Structures are given as C-alpha cells and as structure tokens.
Amino acid sequence: MIETQQKDKTSGSAAQKQSSEYARSLIEASLDPLVTINTEGKITDMNEATVNIMGIERAKLNGSDFFDYFTEPQKAREVYQEVFAKGSVADSPLTLRHKNGKLTDVLFNGSVYKDDRGNVLGVVIVARDVTAQKLLSKYSLSLIEASLDPLVTISTQGKITDMNQATVNITGMTREELTGTDFFDYFIETQKAREVYQEVFAKGSVADSPLTLRHKNGKLTYVLFNGSVYKDDRGNVLGVVIVARDTTAQKQLAEREIAGREKELMRIEELERFRKLTVGRELKMIELKKEIEELKSRI
C-alpha cells in the first residue's frame, strides 16, 4: 500500500514537472515579451524576451510592480484593469522603458487565466514590439508630407485613408474631418472625379486629368489629377495614391494670355474698320473732286 502511494506520488510529481516544463516552453516560445501578473499587479513570471526588452534580470523583475516599466504607468494600470473587467484586451498601445532609457512601442494584448475551479489567478500579457512598424509609419508619413502638392490615399471604396498637410490646406478641412469621407465630394465635377478614380483601377495609373477642387469656403483650385494603385506584398490592390498638381497659376496666366490676345484682335478689328472708313472717305473725296472738275469743264 505504502509502495503504491509512493509510486503514485512519484508519478504525480513527474507529471507536474512535465507540465511545468511544458508551460515554460510555451512562455519562452514567444518572441515577444510575455509576462504573467497576479491580481495585485505583481510580476510572477516572464520570458527571456521580457528580460531583454527591460534590461533587468528575472530575480529583480519577479514580484515587482508591472506598471513601473511603462512610460505611462496609469494607462498601463487601466488597461490591466480592463483585462479583468472584459476578460481580455487587444492591441492597446503602450511604451516600455529599458533600464538605460531606451523606449519600445508595444501593443498590449492580455487575457485572464484561471484555476480549475474558474477562479481568476491573474493576467497573461504579450507585448508585441511595434517599434519597426511605427518607424515605417513615420517614414511613410514623411514621404507623404514631402509632397508640396495635395497627396491622398484612397481605399477601394473611394474613402480617404490618409493625406498630407497640403490636402488639409487646399480643402480647408482637418485631417479628422477628411479621414473616412468620400474623396469625390471635394471636386466640383464629382462624377468626373469618380470616373478618373475608376480609370486608375482599370489601367493601374492615370496622368494629368484636369479637375477642380473646392475649398470649404468656396474657393476653387484647378488641379491635374495623377494617380496609381498601391498593393500589398501579395499583389492585392489596397487602394489608390493621388497627387493633385495645383495648376491654378498656370491656368490664370493662360486665361490672361487669351484675354490679351482677344483684346488685341478686337483692337485690330477696330483699326481695320477705321481704315476702311478712312479709305471710303478718301474715295468719296476723289469722286467728289472728279465731279467738280467735270462741272468746271462744262462751264
């Protein structure tokens, strides 16, 4: 009997050890920082990625306050509390601070874990490092802002997804007001703008299509619409990038030149009429002189 109990105990101990090792392998398998936190907000376990991103050894991390490692401790605490309230959270943006001051932007994903009776024991957190994506986003934004002409990205549904400051200035609308709205509503030729947009999808790009943008105060800006599709890494079309070259100054100059030529033509026509009138008078004078001479010759 005792021998059987000892065997059962040994077997149970081996099973627990195996289970513990399995749990450890799951934790370390995550390339992103993974932390378990108890109901008091204290760190109870973590993987090597967490040690690396914080620059603090496991012994010092264990039992410490999880929120102290974020640049916004209160926001981190609120997200942590939201996990308990909802059971999980996804993609909450936060920033982790390394002990040397280096900052890492992360998306905070978490869910509660429970015992076999359903009692909540704590929270499992995975912090996805999005520093590279954020840098890429800033790089993309800098490219957008580098354009002095209005530049807009539009979804396949024709909704504005991003824009530069030049677009804000030329429409008089804020970024928040522009985002998600119908791109075509900002042109006086709405249907023509829609047709050109559809042409981009059909041909892959368009160049120098004349349109007119309307500022919210009514001011009109003549532009040449240039666009091309952009795709994901699998070749799927995600939307269209549009650059609207402001040609108002050129159009006004052309109109002044046309008006000047028309004025010159009117002046030429006026001079021609005067010449004809003058010539006509001279001919009449010559005829009158002839008549006078004939009369004199008869006397």
Q: What integer pLDDT is reported at residue 47 of this predicted model? A: 92
Domain that includes residue 98, residue range: 19-131
27-79 residue pLDDT tens: 777 788 999 999 999 999 999 999 999 999 999 999 999 999 999 999 999 99
Segment 243-272 shows an average pLDDT of 70
Q: What integer pLDDT is reported at residue 147 of this predicted model? A: 82
Q: How far is CA 227 from the centre of its chain?
A: 16
Residue 101 sits in the same domain as residue 160: no
3-state secondary structure of 15: helix
Q: What integer pLDDT is reported at residue 169 of this predicted model? A: 93
Residue 153 sits in the same domain as residue 114: no
Distance CA 142, CA 154 (A): 18
Say if 268 falls within a structural domain. no
Q: What integer pLDDT is reported at residue 135 of this predicted model? A: 65
| CATH number, residue 116 | 3.30.450.20
Q: Looking at the predicted structure, is the pLDDT value of residue 7 above 60?
A: no
Distance CA 196, CA 206 (A): 8
CA distances from 62 to 1, 78, 200 (A): 41, 21, 57
Say if 70 falls within a structural domain. yes
Neighbours of 103 (CB within 10 A): 12
Q: Looking at the predicted structure, is the pLDDT value of residue 251 above 90?
A: no
Residue 102 sits in the same domain as residue 187: no
E strands within 132-219? 151-155, 160-163, 205-214
Residue 26 sits in the same domain as residue 120: yes
In this predicted model, which residue has the larger pLDDT, 157 or 7?
Answer: 157
Q: Looking at the predicted structure, is the pLDDT value of residue 2 above 60?
A: no
Residue 183 sits in the same domain as residue 233: yes
Segment 252-278 shows an average pLDDT of 68
Q: What integer pLDDT is reported at residue 270 of this predicted model? A: 73
Say if 282 falls within a structural domain. no
Q: What integer pLDDT is reported at residue 206 of this predicted model? A: 92
Percent of the chain having pLDDT more than 90?
44
Residue 170 sits in the same domain as residue 213: yes
Say if 188 falls within a structural domain. yes
pTM: 0.48
Q: Looking at the predicted structure, is the pLDDT value of residue 16 above 90?
A: no
Q: What integer pLDDT is reported at residue 289 of this predicted model? A: 72
Q: Which of 203, 231, 246 is the last residue of a domain?
A: 246
Distance CA 256, CA 274 (A): 27
105-148 residue pLDDT tens: 999 899 998 888 889 999 998 988 887 776 666 666 677 777 88
Say if 277 falls within a structural domain. no
R_g of the chain, CA atoms, integer Å: 39
Q: What integer pLDDT is reported at residue 101 of this predicted model? A: 92
Total of domains in the chain? 2
Say if 7 falls within a structural domain. no
Residue 58 sits in the same domain as residue 120: yes
In this predicted model, which residue has the larger pLDDT, 189 or 287?
Answer: 189
Segment 202-221 shows an average pLDDT of 91
Q: What integer pLDDT is reported at residue 15 of this predicted model? A: 61
Residue 89 sits in the same domain as residue 163: no
The token pair at 259 is 């008006």
Is 284:291 a contact under the CB 8 Å cutoff? no
Q: Looking at the predicted structure, is the pLDDT value of residue 89 above 60?
A: yes
Residue 26 sits in the same domain as residue 127: yes
CA distances from 279 to 135, 265, 273 (A): 81, 21, 10
Is 182:158 a contact under the CB 8 Å cutoff? yes
* Closest of 118, 34, 35, 120 to residue 84, by C-alpha: 120
Q: What integer pLDDT is reported at residue 6 of this predicted model? A: 55
Residue 152 sits in the same domain as residue 123: no
Average pLDDT of the chain is 83
Q: Looking at the predicted structure, is the pLDDT value of residue 17 above 70?
A: no
* Closest of 101, 108, 87 to residue 33, by C-alpha: 108
Q: What integer pLDDT is reported at residue 9 of this predicted model? A: 55
Q: What integer pLDDT is reported at residue 296 of this predicted model? A: 64
Is 246:221 a contact under the CB 8 Å cutoff? yes
Say if 157 falls within a structural domain. yes
Q: How far is CA 205 from the centre of its chain?
A: 20
Sequence letter at residue 53:
I
Say if 257 falls within a structural domain. no
Stated as kind and residue range, the H or E segment containing 278 is helix 248-298
Distance CA 239, CA 178 (A): 16
Q: Looking at the predicted structure, is the pLDDT value of residue 212 above 70?
A: yes
Residue 105 sits in the same domain as residue 174: no
Segment 163-184 shows an average pLDDT of 93
Sequence letter at residue 54:
M
92-103 residue pLDDT tens: 999 999 999 999
Is 68:92 a contact under the CB 8 Å cutoff? no
